[in-house]
Every structure is written in C-alpha cells, then in structure tokens.
Amino acid sequence: MSNDLRSWFVMFPNGMIPLVENWGKIHRSAVLLKSPSIDLHKASVDLPLICTPLRLSWLSRRSSQASYLISALPYIFSFIYIRLSEVLQCTSTSTLYIRISTSDYPSTGRSVLGPLVDLQSTSARMATNAMYLSVSTNPPSLSNSAMRRKVRSFTVRCSTGSASMGAAVPAPWKLADARLVLEDGSIWRAKSFGASGTQVGEVVFNTSLTGYQEILTDPSYAGQFVLMTNPHIGNTGVNIDDEESIQCFLAGLIIRSLSISTSNYRCTESLSDYLSKRNIMGIYDVDTRAITRRLREDGSLIGVLSTEESKTNEQLLEMSRTWNIVGVDLISSVSCKKPYEWVEKTGLEWDFNSKGRHDETFHVVAYDFGIKHNILRRLASYGCKITVVPSTWPASETLKMNPDGVLFSNGPGDPSAVPYAVETVKEIIGKVPVFGICMGHQLLGQALGGKTYKMKFGHHGGNHPVRNLRNGSVEISAQNHNYAVDPESLPYGVEVTHVNLNDGSCAGLAFPQQKLMSLQYHPEASPGPHDSDLGACYSLLCL
C-alpha cells in the first residue's frame, strides 16, 4: 500500500479503517433517531460524511488501492457500528443496517452520481466529495428497481460482536475543547483527554517510538509538557509494571492521535483513564509535527494548556510569558522525603547482561533527585543492596553508612537551582566511588568546578548516538535533559569520555583519581535501547 493511502488510515485491531473528519454531524443526526417522536424501527436517516480531506479522487485511478478499500469495508462498517451504537445506546440484540453510496437518494431526490464501490468489477469510481451513510434498524430498500440497479448500493448487517474488537477510548465526534497557547503567540486548538483545567509548563518533544508510560512517570519531566513525535499513542494502554515512579510529575501530554482501542496482555486501563486518575492533562488532534518544527527552530517554549472557556487567549498568553522554569528547584518536589531500602527483586526481564553478580553485601547509597525505578532495578540485578536517600540528605550521614559507592540520580530542571545538592556532591567526592546519571552528571560537573548551560531544545528520546572516546564505539542512547556540562569549563584532570554525535555536547565525564564517572544519558534505558548498561557503574563501584 502506498504512503499517500496509508497516511489517511488508522490502525484497528483487525484491519484498517479510513479516518472520518466529520463525526459531529453523525452524532447530531444519530441523536435524531433517539427522539421520542421518531420510531427507531422505522426511521432511516442519511448522514453526510464530508470526505474532501480524504482525497478520494485517487480511487478512480488506482485499482489496486480500490481493491484494498473493498477488503477493508467490513472494518469500516464495524467501526461505524461501534460509534453509532454508542450514541444510540443500542442493546446487545440491536442490529444496525448501513448503506453507503455517493448519492443522497432518496432523501432529496437528486440525481444519482454513482456508486462508491462496484463490488462486481472490484474497482472504485468517485464522482463527488461526499459519501452518504444510511442507518436504520430495518433493512433499507429502494422501491424503484431501475434506480436500484443504477445506484448499486449495498447493505451490510453489523453484528454486536464487532464492538468487542477494541475498547473505544476517544469520542471521534468530540469537538476541539482545549487550547495550547505558546509564549511566541501561537495558539493550537485540540481535543482534551485526561484531566481538565489550566496548566503551565515548558513544551519539549520526545522522539521515542514506544515507552510512553515510562515517559509519563519519569520525574525528570516535572514542569514540562511532553510532545510525542510518534503520532499514534495509547494503543497498549498502561500497566503497573512499567512505571518509573509512584506518580506522574509532568505538566501534560501532547499527542497527534489517541488510540481508539487498547490491546495488550498486560494492560490494566486506558491511557485516558490513567491520566484522569492522576490529574494530568492531555490533548490530541493537534499538529505535533508543526509544533516540533517550531521548537527545533525557536527552542523550548513555555506554554499554557487550558480547557476552561472562561479564560481568554490573552490571559493564557500572559501566563506563558510570566512563568519561568529556569532557576526553579524542581528536585525538591519529586525527591523522596525520607530514606528507604529498595527491596524489589528483579525478574528475568531485567536480567540482560547482568554478569559477575556481587553478593548483596555491596552497599550503594542512591541520592534521589528524581530517580527512575529502572536504575534501582538494574543495580539490584547486580546484587547491590540499595539505600535511597532524599536530595537534601547530609553528606555526613551518607558517609556514616560506610557505603561501597554513591549514585547521584537523574532529576528535573536546572542544576544551578539546587546549590545544596552541589555542596553535598563536593563533600562526598574523593571519599567513596561515585557515579552520576543526567542531573547527577551535571551536579558532578559543577562540583568539579565546571559550568552548565541550558540547551536550545534539549535531548529527549531513545535514539541519540553517543561516541565513547576511550574505545571509539558508538552507542544509541536514551536521553532526557535540557541542560549540559560545558567541557571547556572543566579543570585539568577531568576527562570527557563521551560526546553526543548530533551536536557534540558532553555526554560523559571521568576523574579516575577520584573514582568518579558520570553519563549524560540513561544507561538503564526504559524506555530506550540497551546499547549501554549500568555495568559501567557496577564496575566502577566495585573498584
């Protein structure tokens, strides 16, 4: 199937169905069927589907694509049945009869323009930009046999079993009810899901193809709207196993298409329900490609997402221009409040490349600046005993624990906004082996005398190439940060071990004399590739 045809289709569990842009009219017309003055068992209504955006003109020229459309018709009807049965609140014994043609006959008496599909010749002909859907609980019929032959319309009986193919999540007839207002003055209309209200945050884009639940629960996204460049989100639902923290800290989720069905053996609830329960806002049916291009050209932008009609665009724009994420201590809002032992045991799914296991007497103290669960899982898979401490935990108390190593974790925001963490890192360096990831890497850079800076739009995704300068190898890494260490500001003796091949930014540091190592990416992945692993951290801590 060619790209131009595929672009107008969306995935359905058992096939492909065309996108329909005008569910609002279907909804309004279907409601008429529920009117007390209309006998549902006698009523039939023609519902116009405005299909100009679908570029139906290619059907007359490409017989192979027309044949594919014919094979997809059962799924088209099944989809229509599911949607109309929701509106009509049909019972399990209800049957809807559906007729599609390019004519609105017999409602207006206009001349017939031709059939949508000729089933006999397996070819398609289109003479208009409007399709007409006739829905009734009785089989529709044409009394004029000559007209019936000319129309060649066909009737499909949709059984209730079609509705079990997938659990519908969004309402296709829903009108745009949300606005995303960026500080550059642009306004983006969208449809909302999840929570309602008004929220402000920094808009960043993530290029990962999968792993949206891990992204939602990554504390490093605190204060940010995450825009997924992968267009179709929500098809696997959510589950209890893939969470990277006990709650969602991001400001909101921006996606192109919200999956109409959820299908995964581990799924426990839909993405929409998941966000609603956690009071996280989300929008879909927005041009994510255009927003991504804007962010790449202009850099990360502050935005306001709102479903409140009482707020004007001017008010939302003012909010976006007065709010700032630079210099804000976000770590204190995501860190644990008291120390705890990580007791979760890992299964085989986390056990890749975990060689040279150490007895659990090997003790690691992990500073929680927004630590992901998979970092702890990977350390546990090597047999480490892990004590997680808050971001404000004194260095003196950590040293009293006599750890074999200290891990400074990932976290959100500006490293310059947490000077207390930098002082803690300074007190620990040189006394025990230390390892830093993302925010921990930046704090180590500052503690060594270096400087950090805010990047134009940051790195967010699972496809960032990094070169190991020690051996020349290249790893595809998972990254999530808006700040970086300036390698030119580092003192003598500090080695830059890794660089990002996209922009040359510093991706790793080492100070062998102090038994120190750090990475600006996530070696534990989740989501992301497994080219890197915490084995480097484990080897360092075992020294």
Sign of CA dihedral 227, 333, 523, 379: negative
Annotated active-site residue 363? The verdict is no
How far apart, in whole angstroms, are the C-alpha atoms of residue 330 and residue 220?
9
Active-site residue identified among 27, 460, 498, 522: 522
How far apart, in whole angstroms, are the C-alpha atoms of residue 485 and residue 492?
15
First to last CA, the chain: 56
How far apart, in whole angstroms, are the C-alpha atoms of residue 514 and residue 430?
5
Collapsing DSSP to helix, strand or coil, 389 comes out as strand
Tokens 């927005």 correspond to: 286
Active-site residue identified among 459, 481, 524, 537: 524
Angle at which helices 23-33 and 63-88 pack, to 10 degrees? 50
Q: How many CB atoms lie within 10 A of CB 134?
A: 20
Active-site residue identified among 384, 438, 506, 537: 438
Specify the amino acid at residue 100.
I
How far apart, in whole angstroms, are the C-alpha atoms of residue 313 and residue 511?
51
Task: Give the CA angle between residues 20, 26, 27 to the nearest 5°.
Answer: 120
Q: Answer whether 377's CB lies under 8 Å from 350's CB.
A: yes
Return the DSSP state at 69. Answer: H
Annotated active-site residue 524? The verdict is yes
- For 121: left if phi > 0, alpha if psi spans -120 to 50, otherwise beta; the answer is alpha
Which residues have C-beta within 8 Å of that of residue 531, sequence separation ≥ 6? 475, 476, 477
Annotated active-site residue 397? The verdict is no
Q: Which of 356, 434, 421 is nearest to 395 (CA)?
A: 421
Which residues have C-beta within 8 Å of that of residue 6, sequence separation ≥ 6? none
Q: Answer whether 115's CB lies under 8 Å from 26's CB.
A: no
Active site residues: 438, 522, 524
